Structure 1
Amino acid sequence: MHVFDLIVIGTGSAGATVAQAAREAGKKVAIIDKLPFGGTCSQRGCDPKKVLVGVAELIARSEQMSGKGISGSPTINWADLMRFKKTFTDSVPQRTETKFADLNIQSFHGAATFLSANTVRVGEEELKASHIVIATGQRPKPLDIPGEELLVDSTGFLELAELPKEVVMIGGGYISFEFAHIAARAGAKVTILHQGKRPLEGFDADLVELLVKAMESIGIRIVLEANVTAVEGKADKLTVRYSQQRKSHSISTNLVIHAAGRVADVAELDLEKAGVELDKKGVVANEYLQSVSNPAVYACGDVADKGLPLTPLASYEGRIVADNILNGNRQTYQDNPIPTAVFTIPTLASVGLTEEQAKKQGRKVNVTFQETSDWYTSRRINESFAAFKTLVDEDTNQIVGAHLLGSGCDEVINLFTLAMKHHISAKDLGDTLLAYPTHGSDLKSMLPI
């Protein structure tokens, strides 16, 4: 039996933040992961995905500017792109383990299973601690359909040795949309099957509608209210069967990507033995990110039932958990404005309330919505789809929501977030002089001042 002050399960940004803070405070710390050390974002998620998106953006930009100063048609060499991507991901596990070793954090490889409220097993080893932190992230949600084993998840897509000619994405969320753009710009024929009435349900409906038009303009097919019932075939000859409006349909393809949602990755943990409560979103935690049913256990990152599954939020939660373990519960989870972006082409970015949410809350807001493909920042790169929507409280002049579509909006959304976080009024933000001509300099025209 190994005895520690703290056991952390998961080595992503949430778990690593807690482990390092505790060790620097002099605690004896163990950290466990069943996957290569370093977490999802740096190896199987946001970071490698953005590398692929960057190349797709170059293809899109060259196509937009064809005949306007650019001649020729560049193409994506998938094998070269994968080699470049690996220069970012391959070194992560060893680098992470070395960092833990340098801090004298003891590493364990394998799936952790709870034996009791404060004891876990990893392989043949048993570990005990005063506090245990669950930071295992999420995994693809089981679809429970025949042929599910034929699907490839997001990790598999990012490891493809070559891209097939035809790809089907199951799900209409950000992963599906981002991968669809990458695959389409690399020359694949892409179909998205989404069971809902509209994709990207958490984002502004008007901007999503424009994004869908942008995707359809490059040949991406989006099928809504499509309930996938089975996947059949083998190797690169697959058939996806789905129902739509009580009618059965099928589509032939070379590859099927599971992008239909994720759930807390806790299947092997045996949480019942630890008395840890779980709901549909994840480990049920109080405002201190402490398990509501086992005070020895904390949860942070995507596995917890708080907030959105975003890396900056995971690190933020990790800092809260570390402080509460070291100093007693004193830091609480706060619903700060959190920006998020869908790295499609054009990019979709959002922070704060949507128009629908503001109406449900009965907020009196000034809504400004405009398509901006005729603005200079869009015209100079011949961008056909661009728009914004801002929501400003009529009484306080505070920005309560901002939704952007177009190049550069993944950076501009940070300006709106800064204003919301620090209560900078729409007038004061609009009166701020920003470098011109930049995407940021368009900000004044997005506000009702």
Structure 2
Amino acid sequence: MSRKMLIDGEGGHPADEEQYDFDLFVIGAGSGGVRASRTSAGYGAKVAICELPFHPISSEVIGGVGGTCVIRGCVPKKILVYGASFRGEFEDAKNFGWELNDEVGFNWKKLLHNKTQEIVRLNGIYKRLLTNAGVTMLEGEGKVVDPHVVEVTQPDGSKKQYKARHILIATGSRAQRVNIPGKELAITSDEALSLEELPKHVVILGGGYIAVEFASIWRGMGATVDLFYRKELPLRGFDGEMRAVVARNLEGRGIRLHPGTNLSELTKTEEGIRVLTDKGDALTADVVLFATGRSPNTKRLNLEAVGVETDRAGAIKVDEYSRTNVPSIWAVGDVTNRMNLTPVALMEGTCFSKTVFGGQPTKPDYGHIPCAVFSIPPLSVVGLSEEEAVEQGKNDVLVFTSTFTPMKNTISGRQEKTIMKLVVDSETDKVLGASMCGPDAPEIMQGIAVALKCGATKAQLDSTVGIHPSAAEEFVTMRSLTRRVTAGGKPKTNL
């Protein structure tokens, strides 16, 4: 069997083939690891993958095939977002003629059960995908003991070593806790997806997408929610104008925002958890969620012993092809802390396989990657924010915005606007970035991302016929310039 390898003197000599149990050994069966395993096997490589035993809540010795996204991330989170969205739908339905009882019951345990059943189903699907691809699956904790050797500690404690021509690390990341007194009383997003009882009052620390999404989820299910974050607005790194819109929507849905505020201490009391802020204020909650970032899963991989370089945060350093400083060891996904999104890990896994086994050296392309914050309503973006466009561009930046009441809200009476935005290069007319906050934003933005990836200009969007009546048509009817920002100037806001 012929296998095309990335150069560096690693060609497939028959004598060398006998030295290895596998062409590729993958540590971590999340999105990136599973994709790399399957595509590598498709190129004819002999592949093995190891993963920790399955459980909805992860630990250093618990994981599951499918990884964070499937088991304790995007998928179960989105299921809870769907569940929480019905509260607003019931309220909106009244003006559309639906007569509902004042008290609509909600069974948290039923939703939790159905959510767990779904991730168990998906876990089984991922296992079948690997089996059907001819990948050898091993349950246990893997660590690197040599540039070509992985040691797997099996659930019964026994250890076994496997020799591989290439080793791919795809162990993802783990939610981290803030180091304050009483931190053990708080939960992370892992536990938040599997709480036995629905909390009545939640305190959330963090201003990122996980914090914002869980605030929307719990508020949608009727809980009182207090959201604390250090900056003036949530969602640092997103377009400033859209951040303000999200904050306004969160408050409009009844979430209490505490900008510029941190937590300093948690204490267990008879009433619940007493939360003390750095401003000296105190309140009591049933649940405190730390949503303050994630750390790469590298501590138990034995990387230092084999010379694999990591950064200060523990992320594995890789080159443009996902290769570490040790030629036989590679890494993809959140463990490299490049762009921590599931579709990006899938892309990196595919590029790795093409490079190492497909004879097609391929670098992941991080341009025009869309993403979404599944708040209620959601935010979705692609390309550059206004701030990034102004900072990076040599030409003036043209900003087009549209603010309107969605047709549904004109009848329901909900006081919530949809906001859309396009950022355009004044000289080339190329659309540099797009963003939207409103119902169906992620579904719409996926199509806009295709256009931007193809280099769409504002004129091309303007010449596109819209679908009427729809929110999406606004992206092709924004004719009036909102503002022009000079190169090197300061972005402004009209929203």
Q: Determine the C-alpha separation between the residues in 2 that align with 1:217 and 1:325.
A: 51
Q: Determine the C-alpha separation between the residues in 2 that align with 1:234 and 1:10.
A: 40
Q: Determine the C-alpha separation between the residues in 1 that align with 2:271 and 2:170.
A: 35
| Residue in 2 that maps onto 1:121 | 151
Q: Any residues of structure 2 matched to 1:2-401 within 5 Å, and which?
A: 3-34=21-52, 35-72=63-100, 73=102, 74-123=104-153, 124-233=159-268, 237-243=272-278, 247-279=279-311, 280=313, 282-291=315-324, 293-306=325-338, 308-327=339-358, 330-362=361-393, 363-373=395-405, 376=407, 378-380=409-411, 382-383=413-414, 384-401=416-433
Q: How far has the Cα of 1:448 moved from its partner?
A: 4.9
Q: Determine the C-alpha separation between the residues in 2 that align with 1:190 and 1:360.
A: 36
Q: Determine the C-alpha separation between the residues in 2 that align with 1:76 and 1:440.
A: 32
Residues 401 and 378 (structure 1 numbering): CA distance in 2 closer, same or farther, change over 3 Å? farther
Unaligned runs of 5+ in 1: none
| Residue in 1 that maps onto 2:485 | none
Q: Determine the C-alpha separation between the residues in 2 that align with 1:432 and 1:281.
A: 47
Q: How far has the Cα of 1:96 moved from its partner?
A: 2.5
CA contact (8 A) 2:321 2:351 kept: yes
Among 408, 412, 429, the residue aligned to 2:444: 412
Unaligned runs of 5+ in 2: 1-18, 53-62, 154-158, 482-495
Residues 441 and 378 (structure 1 numbering): CA distance in 2 closer, same or farther, change over 3 Å? farther
Asked which structure has the greater CA Rg, the reply is 2
CA contact (8 A) 1:277 1:284 kept: yes
Q: Determine the C-alpha separation between the residues in 2 that align with 1:364 and 1:404.
A: 22
CA contact (8 A) 1:115 1:274 kept: yes
Q: Determine the C-alpha separation between the residues in 1 that align with 2:327 and 2:440.
A: 44
Q: Determine the C-alpha separation between the residues in 2 that align with 1:368 and 1:260.
A: 33
Give me the TM-score of the superposition, normalised by structure 1: 0.93
* Paired residue type of 1:202: G
Q: Deviations over 1:121-150 (max 9, x none)?
A: 221111221111111111112422222222
The count of corresponding residues between Structure 1 and Structure 2 is: 443
| Residue in 1 that maps onto 2:465 | 433
Q: Determine the C-alpha separation between the residues in 2 that align with 1:68 and 1:95.
A: 40
* Paired residue type of 1:49: K
Residues 75 and 426 (structure 1 numbering): CA distance in 2 closer, same or farther, change over 3 Å? farther
Q: Determine the C-alpha separation between the residues in 1 that align with 2:68 and 2:238.
A: 23
* Paired residue type of 2:318: A
RMSD: 2.2
What secondary structure sits across from 1:210 in the alignment? helix
What secondary structure sits across from 2:144 in the alignment? strand
Q: How far has the Cα of 1:378 moved from its partner?
A: 4.8
What secondary structure sits across from 2:248 in the alignment? helix
Q: How far has the Cα of 1:296 moved from its partner?
A: 0.9
Q: Determine the C-alpha separation between the residues in 2 that align with 1:340 and 1:90.
A: 26
Q: How far has the Cα of 1:24 moved from its partner?
A: 2.3
Give me the TM-score of the superposition, normalised by structure 2: 0.84
CA contact (8 A) 2:95 2:411 kept: no
